């Protein structure tokens, strides 16, 4: 169920772009096949054949992981609630662009971005809103390119004149403040529950990894934006008087294991911890999915049990009211800026086939954010 029924007229359509997740056992293999055949995410020789084979090999393991969690991906249900909250907030705060409809647009499963644009094609304005605060070719770039390819084939309908995008919002103060608030909340809970001091808790920021060459050779700035996010959040926490050690780590190596990935890995950083407790921050994620519920909450907790007495994770934004406010504010600013699109420029050594065309289609005016 989306934020509003499709027979409701929408003046402004907002599509929240995300990876999505399988809703049942039968969706796992098709989801993985889409993922491993995505050349923006990773490049493989004989991509379609090898991607299909890797998906087939990994399907049983991923099925086991979901069984371990006790549920399939919660992302769709959470985002439907987010969509409803954002649409209602926009209707209240910005009646000039109302009525608003907000829906999810997933990269690897239904509802796909193109499906939702088609369903609400009569809207006067369509905004594609990346739910990846830090831009990477593998996440935001892949979702935007997927949308562009669908839009470019719609010769009978003029979407180009009314569609725009929101990308790369990691360097906003309200984004950093939201993370700082959630971290402080969990930090104080740990101290009170276990009788700990600030110095007893190590905060580990864990982000989805990339092959090192993507950043150091191709020029994807994702790692710099993640580090910039951590620096901004840590500055706020230190200004509140918190005394702790913070560390950045990288998780979820999706692809050939012989590839050299960004370091240090999250298990390595956990293993070297000298404090009594670890507080994990899923810095690259806004909404819960398998990488928070399984990889952090179960797998990494198991590693942590070997080295510390206590382990906890900061909640994702999910339905946090201040996150709904943040999304609404970003959208209002975008509307007031006359729907100006700004996507991070192509990598210096871009390897994508659609990256430049995608940016041209959306009329992107690049802005170089600084870490």
Catalytic residue numbers? Answer: 19, 35, 41, 107-108, 208, 288, 291, 295
CA angle centred on 136, ends 18 and 184, rounded to 5°: 70
Q: Are 31 and 104 in contact (CB under 8 A)?
A: no
Q: Peptide bond before 111: cis, by omega within 30 degrees of 0?
A: yes
User: Rounded to whole angstroms, what are the CA distances from 263 to 114, 121, 270?
Assistant: 36, 44, 13
d(CA 56, CA 129): 32
Structure tokens at 184: 């402080």
CA distances from 160 to 93, 112, 315, 353 (A): 27, 18, 37, 20
Contact 339, 101 (CB under 8 A): no
In whole angstroms, what is the distance from residue 227 CA to residue 233 CA?
10
Q: Are strands 125-130 and 201-208 parallel, antiparallel or unpaired?
A: unpaired
Q: Identify whether the C-beta of residue 348 lies closer than 8 Å to the C-beta of residue 216.
A: no
Strand order from edge to edge, sheet including 277-281: 245-251, 201-208, 277-281, 310-313
């Amino acid at each position: 169920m989306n934020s509003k029924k499709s027979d409701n007229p929408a003046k402004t359509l907002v599509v929240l772009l995300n990876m999505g997740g399988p809703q049942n056992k039968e969706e796992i293999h098709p989801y993985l096949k889409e993922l491993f055949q995505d050349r923006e995410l990773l490049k493989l020789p004989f991509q379609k054949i090898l991607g299909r084979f890797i998906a087939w090999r990994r399907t049983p393991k991923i099925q086991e992981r979901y069984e371990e969690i006790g549920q399939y991906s919660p992302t769709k249900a959470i985002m439907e609630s987010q969509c409803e909250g954002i649409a209602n907030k926009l209707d209240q705060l910005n009646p000039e662009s109302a009525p608003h409809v907000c829906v999810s647009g997933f990269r690897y499963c239904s509802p796909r971005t193109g499906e939702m644009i088609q369903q609400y094609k009569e809207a006067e304005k369509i905004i594609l809103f990346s739910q990846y605060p830090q831009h990477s070719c593998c996440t935001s770039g892949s979702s935007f390119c997927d949308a562009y390819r669908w839009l470019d084939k719609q010769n009978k309908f003029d979407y180009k004149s009314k569609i725009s995008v929101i990308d790369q919002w990691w360097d906003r103060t309200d984004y950093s403040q939201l993370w700082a608030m959630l971290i402080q909340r969990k930090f104080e809970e740990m101290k009170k529950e276990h009788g700990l001091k600030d110095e007893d808790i190590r905060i580990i920021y864990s982000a989805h990894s990339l092959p090192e060459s993507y950043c150091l050779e191709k020029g994807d700035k994702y790692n710099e934006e993640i580090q910039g996010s951590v620096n901004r959040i840590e500055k706020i926490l230190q200004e509140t008087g918190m005394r702790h050690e913070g560390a950045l780590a990288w998780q979820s190596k999706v692809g050939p294991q012989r590839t050299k990935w960004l370091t240090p890995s999250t298990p390595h950083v956990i293993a070297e911890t000298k404090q009594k407790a670890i507080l994990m921050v899923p810095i690259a994620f806004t909404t819960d999915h398998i990488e928070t519920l399984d990889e952090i909450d179960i797998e990494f907790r198991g590693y942590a049990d070997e080295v510390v007495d206590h382990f906890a994770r900061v909640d994702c934004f999910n339905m946090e009211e201040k996150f709904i406010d943040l999304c609404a504010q970003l959208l209002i600013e975008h509307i007031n800026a006359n729907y100006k699109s700004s996507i991070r420029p192509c990598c210096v050594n871009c390897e994508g086939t659609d990256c430049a065309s995608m940016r041209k289609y959306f009329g992107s005016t690049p802005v170089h954010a600084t870490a």
